[in-house]
Structure formats: structure tokens, C-alpha cells
Amino acid sequence: MTNRWLRIAPLGIAFLVLMGMTRCLEAGSATAVSSRPLALAGEDRDVLALAGKIDLYLTATRLKAKVTLASLADDAEFLRRVYLDLNGKIPPVSEARAFLQDTNPDKRLRLVQRLLDGPGYVMHFTNVWRALLLPEVNANLQLRPVVPGFEAWLRRQLAGNARYDAMVRDLLTVSFASDNQNRMNPYERLGEPSPAAFYVAKEAKPENLGAATARLFLGIRLECAQCHDHKFAPWKREQFWGFAAFFGGMEPRSVDNATGRVREITGRNRLQIPGKEDFIEAAFLDDTRPEFKYKVSGRVTLADWITGRDNPYFARMGVNRIWAFLFGRGLVEPVDDFTPEHTPSHPELLDALAQEFAAHHFDIKFLIRSIIASQAYQLSSTQTDPGQAEPRLYACMTVKSLTPEQLFDSLAQATGYHEVAAREARPQLGVETSGARAEFLVKFTSQDGGTDARTTILQALYLMNGKLVADLTSLERSQTLTAVAESPFFDTAQRVEALYLATLSRKPNPDELGRLTRYVTEGGVRHDPRAALADVFWALLNSAEFILNH
């Protein structure tokens, strides 16, 4: 299996693993693009209105730059893209066939709504938000026991379509266990829905909690002002410690369950700045003084200010986060760094999105539906004009790397692989510690606490030569390959087509179909049609088209 790539090289299949790619695919690398515009009949008026605003603002910028738009993505490209973005993996073959054959002009809108209402959205976005809010878990194995309760809390929020402001407020105002509860069996409360792991991961330190809160929910990298005034933004050292003082009552404990590892002394809303004798009182970042309530955590007061509709940062940061998730880059880049140095590419669009997001009660699904309904999201990733290479113009879709979860779950979907997750002796921890999926996530997840997905050389070699993909593309172990190879209803061309639908969610173009059908019929280099079909399957799974979201 190690030399399989060399054996199939005469095929002329230019499937090389592309790493960290953030530009448009070269012209000619995708299938023909449909010219039919998306039908919007029956869609919610507010969603359509916001989608229209998105395209108006982007069009104005492109006209100034004199850049021609890429074509609209065809149905197969759109189907795969939206499945990866909303469901976390590629669609099953049955869904791909049905969608490609569907002639209803509203099928894209109906697909988006169905995915947002399904369990796949909940599971996928649980991974997305957990990776964002708890990046420390990647590098600290001791934090793993508190993850299940955090993920259970996220699933509850997402399944109930909790509004963004309510979700953030719930995280910022979580209650912690009393002293009596701290003496419980340390694993008794594990798995209970709670965002307390956010505080555990930040070691319950006010400076860590303040910095993370400002960066995640306000787009302000306040940590740069921890030791001295920010060099490139107007934030002062006193403002950093004044903001951190909202968490001044937090203290770590030596108990293992999430709610027991942290306690809070209410009313302690001040901190001593390191190296100074004076204490600083908690203050908002607009320099206004909070009004605290008796025996009520200062975090409640902070949450009121952060999630308020008149907060100039909160809605803009939330919008930028969702936009970056769907487009691969934010209207502000870096996504969480709103400074004069990093101005929005489309400031009027960012403001309009933030206003509509707040006006619709911070409904994340409304925002996602509106962005996906726009022409900008539905453009092809195939570059047809040099100007489309400028990502700030959104003249073609940006190509994104898959997260480790997306890549493994797409491999499993394509090959028919099913795994009963192996767990440690304490199954209630809910953390995968062995098995193919766990091993895969360890190899592909960044250990530096970052959240960006990137494919390295070693990871690419693991995909091409590792035992996992070798097993998943063998006639003895691959459910998909065995079913396709042994079906009495398929001829060779139909077998090739079935593998394309299973991996790339599209049918092969005539040239691909002709070349690969001949290769399989002739038996490849080993003169064995079944082995040649397995080689085609392996090549498709290792192609850039499979391992990237485009």
C-alpha cells in the first residue's frame, strides 16, 4: 500500500495534497458551473433582505476594483460546501444523488434549513464552539475530564437554538459548587451540562478570564495591555486590570469536577495591579463605572454590559466570527483583533450585519441562513479572473482546510466506516482515548492551542501511507468499495461514478470518466480490475478536492 501512489501515477490523476490553502482553485480544476441563479421564493423576507444587502455592499467594492465575479457554484459544489460547513462532513451518496436530480428551484434554501434543524448541526457546532472556547484542551490532557460537561452544555444550547447573547451570558454567569459539593465524588458531576470548564481551562485567574472574554466576545486583544499600555491600540494597562477585576472573586480549587474546581467570593470586584500598591476597581472598556448588585456576582454586571444591544463590540465580533467561519476569513482580520491597524474590508457591511443580528435577537441560525443565501457564499471557488485572487473582494469562494473532525468524519462517511468509540476505564468521562478516530484527531489537531486547521506534510503522508486509509480503501475492509465492486447492477463506468459521488459528491466529468473507466477495465498496473478500482478510490480520498472545503 505504501507504493500505491507510484502504481497509479500512469493514470494522470493530478491529485496532490495541498496544504493550508487560502486562495481560489485554479481554473479548470472544478466541474462545469451552473448559470442558473438561486431561487429564493418562499424564504423569509428578512433573510432575503439581508442577503441582498450583503451582495450590494460587496458588489460596490468589486466594481471599484474592476473585478469580474466567479461563476455560481454548481449544485454539487454547493451541496458539499454547505454539508461541510453545517453538518461537519460530506453528504451521503443518497443525498448527493437526490439533490443533483432535484429540479425544485428552492432546493438550496430547503437544504440549508434542513441541515440547521438536524442533529448534525448540533454535533458539528459543538466541536466548533468547544475548540474556540477551550483551545487549552489540545495541549493539556489534565483538562480532558471537564470537556464532556462543557460539550453537553453546548449541545443543549445549540439544540434549543439559544440566541448568541443568551449563550454568552450563560457562560459568563455560571454558578459554581458550594464547599459541600466540592467534597463530592470528583467524577459524580462530570458530564452534567455546564460551561464551568471555561473557568477551569483559564485556571480561574482573573487576568486569563478577562483577556479571553475580551478577545472572544468583543474582538479586543486586551492581553497586550497586561504589562504595559498597548502599543498599537488605545488600551491602557489600567483598563486591562479594571476589566479583569470583574473576575476578581474567582479562585481555583483542587477538586476535579468542573463546578468544584472553581469558587467565587462575590463582592470582590477589584484587583491589585502587579508591582503597584493600589487596587483598581472593575470598569467597563468604555470607561463607564458599573453598578453592582448586593451579593450578586460582578460577572452578572459584566454580562449585562457585554451582551447589551448598544455595546459597540459584541454584535460586530459575533458577526465577524460567523462570517469568517463560512468564508474562511473575516471582514476584520485577524478575526478577533478589532484595532485601527486592522480595519474592516467592508465597514458598512459589517455594521449592517451587526445591526440586523442584534435586531433579530442574536439568532445565529438567522445570520447563517442570510449569509448562505447571498450570492457571495454561492460563488464557485474556481478562479476565472486574476483579480479574484484578492480575498478581501470575495469575488470567488475561498478554499478552506478541513478540521480534523471534518476530515475523519468525511472519510468515515465516504468509506462506510463505523467505530464504537473506545474509552478509558471511566466511561462516564465521555472522552475518546483510543481507537482510529482518537488517534486521527491527535495527529491532526494543533497542540499549540490554536484553532486554525492546517494540513502538514506529515499529515499528508499519514493520509497517503497510513494504515487507516489503507484499510478504508481495501476490498476486504471498505464497506463502500465492496458494495460498489460487487454490485451486479453496475458496469465499470457506473462503479467509477458511484465512487465519485461517495467521495467528491459529484459525478465525474466525461474526461475523468473515460480515463478511469479504461484504467479499471484494463486492470491497472496489476491487471486486476478490482484492485484498479480500489486504487481509484484511494486516489479520490487523497485528492485536494476531497481534503479541502471549496
User: What was the pLDDT predicted at 98?
Assistant: 97
Sign of the Cα torsion 252, 254, 256, 260 reads negative
Give the mean pLDDT of 93-100: 97
Give the mean pLDDT of 430-439: 67
Say how far apart CA 547 and CA 403 lie, in whole Å. 10
Say how far apart CA 232 and CA 374 lie, in whole Å. 35
Bridge partners for 400 per DSSP: 549
Say how far apart CA 16 and CA 47 lie, in whole Å. 39
- Of the candidates 546, 545, 539, 549, which has an alpha carbon nearest to the alpha carbon of residue 8? 539
Lowest mean pLDDT among 25-29, 108-112, 528-532: 25-29
334: cis peptide before it, omega within 30°? Answer: yes
Cell of 202: 483559564
Instruction: Compute the mean pLDDT over every residue in the chain, rounded to the nearest whole number.
Output: 84
Domain extents in the chain: 1-19+402-550, 121-306, 314-361
Say how far apart CA 459 and CA 6 lie, in whole Å. 19
Give the mean pLDDT of 527-543: 95
Give the mean pLDDT of 417-443: 62
Q: Which residue has the cell 448586593?
A: 294
User: What was the pLDDT predicted at 268?
Assistant: 87
Percentage of the chain exceeding pLDDT 90? 63
User: What was the pLDDT predicted at 191?
Assistant: 63
Residues 6+ apart with CB under 8 A from 179: 263
Percentage of the chain exceeding pLDDT 70? 82
Exposed, middle or buried, 445 (CB in 10 Å: 0-12/13-18/19+)? Answer: middle
| Residue 472 pLDDT level (bands cut at 50, 70, 90) | confident
pLDDT at 429 over 70: no
Q: Higher pLDDT residue, 30 or 354?
A: 354
Say how far apart CA 276 and CA 242 lie, in whole Å. 14
| Residue 156 pLDDT level (bands cut at 50, 70, 90) | very high
Cell of 57: 455592499
User: How does 282-309 read in b/e, with b if 16+ C-beta sit within 10 Å?
Assistant: bbbbeeeebebeeeebbbebbbbbbbee
User: What was the pLDDT predicted at 13?
Assistant: 34
Lowest mean pLDDT among 322-336, 414-428, 480-494, 513-527: 414-428
Per residue in 235-290, pLDDT tens?
Answer: 888 999 999 999 998 888 755 555 457 878 888 899 988 878 788 999 999 878 89
User: What was the pLDDT predicted at 237?
Assistant: 87
User: What was the pLDDT predicted at 283?
Assistant: 94
Give the mean pLDDT of 466-490: 90
C-beta pairs of 229-233 under 8 Å, 24+ apart in sequence: 232/339, 232/340, 232/341, 233/339, 233/340, 233/341
User: What was the pLDDT predicted at 433?
Assistant: 54
Contact 325, 367 (CB under 8 A): no
| Residue 469 pLDDT level (bands cut at 50, 70, 90) | confident
User: What was the pLDDT predicted at 456?
Assistant: 66
Q: Higher pLDDT residue, 183 or 476?
A: 476
Give the mean pLDDT of 412-430: 63
The pTM (predicted TM-score) of the whole model is 0.88
pLDDT at 79 over 70: yes
DSSP 8-state secondary structure symbol assigned to residue 262: E
Contact 168, 208 (CB under 8 A): no
Sign of the Cα torsion 88, 90, 91, 92 reads negative
User: What was the pLDDT predicted at 454?
Assistant: 60
Per residue in 330-365, pLDDT tens?
Answer: 999 999 999 888 999 999 999 999 999 999 999 999
Say how far apart CA 33 and CA 497 lie, in whole Å. 18
